[in-house]
Amino acid sequence: MNKLLTGRKRFLEFFKYNKTQETKLGKIPIDWDLVSIKKFGKVITGSTPPTNNKLNYGNEFLFVSPFDINTNKIITNTEKKLSKQGFNTCRKIPVNSVLFVCIGSTIGKVAISGKELTTNQQINVIVLNKENHYNFLYYQLQLHAQRIKRIAGHQAVPIINKSTFENLKIFWTIKSEQQKIASVLSVTDKEVEVLQKQLEKLKKQKKGLMQILLTGEKRVKI
């Protein structure tokens, strides 16, 4: 853990900017830019194979819905899966694409494809071009998720259509810096994961203590 923190500290000390510029979204370094999401790659909206044909569904290919995007950054499994027939009716999403929920109450969820997969129509996917790094885009979309969610408004079914989504502005820098930034944030993710596991362990210990103390199974000295 200490090694991870030290590495991050050194990185943050190394990257200090004296010159900044004002943008509509706040200050950024002078050599960064404010760009549309589509600058990062091709934006694709998912689709759902006909549900009245059971042959479209099976156990072969991942079919991502907002339900599958939770605390896990990388999607490697889904509740529902497709057969080869069903998969062939959908837009195929390559590994290391970025998924963003754009319809419904969970607008703003973000994930990365860990395998070739497809998604339903509630999700827009950015298939990254060679000039950009998927991890950096993932974190950028996390940073701007609440702002994007507010754009959807308070409709009965909140929605950000593909055209609106791909033209939304986020921060951009060159790929080499994107990779370094994403590396530091990935280390932080690992630290959070370790702490979450420790928290879950403590919760289980507390539950066990409550069971034996609040039922009198074990007594405390008075």
Q: Where are the domains of the chain?
A: 33-172
Residue 5's pLDDT band (cuts 50, 70, 90): low
Q: Which residues face 75 on adjacent strands?
A: 113
Confidence at residue 216, expressed as pLDDT on a 0 to 100 scale = 84
- For residue 191, name the pLDDT band (cuts at 50, 70, 90): confident
Q: Judge whether residue 17 has pLDDT over 80.
A: no
DSSP strand pairing (117-119 vs 110-113): unpaired
> Mean of the per-residue pLDDT values for the chain?
90
Per-residue model confidence (pLDDT) at position 129: 97
Length of the chain: 222
Q: Calculate the CA dihedral of residues 78, 127, 125, 162 and round it to 10 degrees.
A: -160
d(C-alpha 40, C-alpha 133), whole Å: 8
Rounded Cα distance, 132 and 24, in Å: 22
Please tell me the predicted confidence (pLDDT) of residue 203: 94
Q: How many CB atoms lie under 10 A from the CB of residue 65?
A: 19
Place 16 in a pLDDT band, splitting at 50, 70 and 90.
Answer: low
Tell me the β-bridge partners of 126: 43, 98
Query: For position 11, what pLDDT does the model report?
Result: 55
Helices (H) and strands (E) in the chain, counts: 5, 12
Lowest mean pLDDT, pick from 127-131, 167-171, 209-213 = 209-213
Distance CA(146)–CA(125), nearest Å, equals 18
pTM for the full model? 0.84
Is 75's pLDDT higher than 60?
A: yes
The pLDDT confidence band at residue 136, using thresholds 50, 70 and 90, is very high
Q: Does domain 33-172 have CATH number 3.90.220.20?
A: yes
The pLDDT confidence band at residue 141, using thresholds 50, 70 and 90, is very high
Q: Which of 128, 100, 96, 101 is nearest to 115 (CA)?
A: 96
Give the pLDDT score at 153. 78
Rounded average pLDDT over 63-80: 94
Residue 76 has pLDDT above 60, yes or no: yes
Predicted confidence (pLDDT) per residue in 34-51, tens digit = 999 999 999 999 999 999
What's 55's DSSP letter? G
